Amino acid sequence: MAMGPGTAANRAANIWTARIIPILLLAIIGYASYAVTKEECIDYLLRPSASSGLQPRTGTAIAILTIFYILLCLLLVSYARLVSTILLNPGVVPRGPQWYVERNQRRKAEKRESEKTVEEDTDSGQGVSAKGTLPDAESYRVQDFWLKDVFVDRVHHCSELNRCVYKMDHFCPWVGGVVSETSFKFFIQFTFWTGVFCFFNVVHISYFLRQRQRHFSDVNVHWILALALSALFLLFGMGMCGSSLEFAFRNTTTIDNYDRRSHVYYIAVHVPYTTFERLTQAQRDSIRWITYPRPPSEQLHLLEDNGANYPQPGSEMPTQQPQDLNGAQQTSAAPTHTQPQRTFAILEAEPGANPYDLGLFNNFKTVMGNSVLEWLSPIHHSPCTQQRPRSPQSSYKMGPLVYKLKKRAGIAEGGDRQRYGGSKGRRKRRRKPASPTETARHEEWHGRRESRSTGESTSQASG
């Protein structure tokens, strides 16, 4: 997708800002360390002036410095872990082969333009085909999602990176990039230790600043600035930590929260072929179906519709047509797929229902880990980052909503109740009364479902 010069300039400015601000933060931390160590602990507590009549308070100074630098180390380690993860492993979706095909085309076009000569395309034998495959493509494979038993799109596009990001939360210039599934845990820990560190500084600087005013008539600018900066970043750290913890307990993100009360999830659930046959024979046409892998011809048409180009425009298109389980016939020859075909039911959740909700404590553990040590120390990544590539069930753990939808559709299987936490006797949380706007949205959603079911029943009766 081409970007205008204004958009590209804004994106570049945001990225440069994100690179500069971390340096500024380190400078502020360095100044605060000087103010506390030199101006407060050494010059006031350890070596007070003779005119003040104060005695050295060695124990107090040592206690303040010990706590200060322990908290500072935790803050710096969590910040370093956060920034390094954002820079080295930001959680972007790997590029598909088509991107490499088009990149090579652009490079060849630029080369021909610079040399002002027309060269024959000689790259067709280097792994490039009409399907857009290259041997050096990134590790993304389209089958990585449809080989799961349940999948939901949990990817958002980051305009600053111009990449799609898994479980993106927000782009934060204070930490140098995009906060996503790989770094959200470290972001919470960084803001938490920032708040604790700044709160400690506000308390001891305020106490000794007031005490100092009794013995000295002058105002120490370093104390005032250290107190002001600590108070400012205390508000920032606690505010960001509080909102991030709220999202962790809900298993959502900042982006999800924009329309969380009205957003409708469409969940693809794998259905064994025997179950599919049983439902089609029972004329359960209210369920929408799809099969994977999709035929090559459909994939190429989708790429062309979105402006993709091919190195061989005259190449013969594959003849296999899309297979529609709702009645269309397959007109192609024998399938050429090497992957097994899988059938999915598309289930529609109610507005505001969250398929990732596992309960408050379990939601928290999927982000922060399973022990107090993991919650406080920025060592291990979030468990959800291990779930996505390894689990055959789904990219992220799914909650009772999936079992509820499968049971409603008549496709629940043995073990689903335990697998998705839909056990009997589960206490329902009391929901707040819906606002008039939310009520109207729910009525509109139920009206769409009823009208669709009525239309399908009418068409079956007329047939």
Q: Which two tokens stand for residue 288?
A: 């929408």
User: What does the alpha-carbon distance between residue 285 and residue 317 come to, in Å, rounded to a whole number?
Assistant: 32
User: What does the alpha-carbon distance between residue 188 and residue 248 come to, in Å, rounded to a whole number?
Assistant: 9
282 or 378, higher pLDDT: 378
Q: What is the pLDDT of residue 329?
A: 38
| Cβ proximity of 336 and 284 under 8 Å | no
- Look at residues 236, 253, 244, 254 and name the one whose alpha carbon lies nearest to residue 189: 244
Q: Which of 26-40, 48-62, 209-223, 301-315: highest mean pLDDT? A: 26-40
User: What does the alpha-carbon distance between residue 333 and residue 335 come to, in Å, rounded to a whole number?
Assistant: 6
Region 371-377 average pLDDT: 94
Number of H helices, E strands in the chain: 15, 8
Share of the chain above pLDDT 90, in %: 36
| pLDDT at 453 > cutoff 70 | no
Q: Which two tokens stand for residue 58?
A: 């060695």
Report pLDDT digits (tens) over 430-446.
555 555 555 555 555 55
Q: What is the pLDDT of residue 435?
A: 55
| Cβ proximity of 392 and 432 under 8 Å | no
Max Cα-Cα span within the chain: 103
Q: What is the pLDDT of residue 23?
A: 87
166 or 125, higher pLDDT: 166
The DSSP code for 47 is: S
Share of the chain above pLDDT 70, in %: 71
- Look at residues 72, 76, 87 and name the one whose alpha carbon lies nearest to residue 183: 87
Report pLDDT digits (tens) over 211-266.
888 877 777 899 999 999 999 999 999 999 999 999 999 999 999 988 888 999 99
User: What does the alpha-carbon distance between residue 318 and residue 33 come to, in Å, rounded to a whole number?
Assistant: 67
314 φ, ψ (degrees, to nearest 5): -90, 5
Region 268-275 average pLDDT: 87
How many Cβ atoms are within 10 Å of 267's Cβ, its own excluded? 22
Region 171-179 average pLDDT: 86
As to burial, measured by CB atoms within 10 angstroms (0-12 exposed, 13-18 middle, 19+ buried), residue 31 is middle
174 or 357, higher pLDDT: 357
User: What does the alpha-carbon distance between residue 411 and residue 455 come to, in Å, rounded to a whole number?
Assistant: 23
3-state secondary structure (DSSP) of residue 89: coil
User: What does the alpha-carbon distance between residue 463 and residue 456 come to, in Å, rounded to a whole number?
Assistant: 11
| pLDDT at 271 > cutoff 60 | yes
Which H or E run contains 342? strand 342-348
How many Cβ atoms are within 10 Å of 244's Cβ, its own excluded? 24
Q: Which residue has the tokens 């652009």?
A: 106
Q: Which residue has the tokens 């229902």?
A: 353
Q: Which two tokens stand for residue 14?
A: 């945001």
User: What does the alpha-carbon distance between residue 409 and residue 453 come to, in Å, rounded to a whole number?
Assistant: 13
3-state secondary structure (DSSP) of residue 401: helix
Identity of the residue numbered 310 = Y
User: What does the alpha-carbon distance between residue 103 and residue 109 come to, in Å, rounded to a whole number?
Assistant: 10
The mean predicted confidence, pLDDT, of the chain is: 77
Q: Band the pLDDT of 174: cuts 50, 70, 90.
A: confident
CA angle, 66 as apex, 64 and 68 as ends, to 5°?
A: 65
What pTM did the predictor assign? 0.76
Report pLDDT digits (tens) over 17-48.
777 888 888 999 999 999 999 999 998 899 88
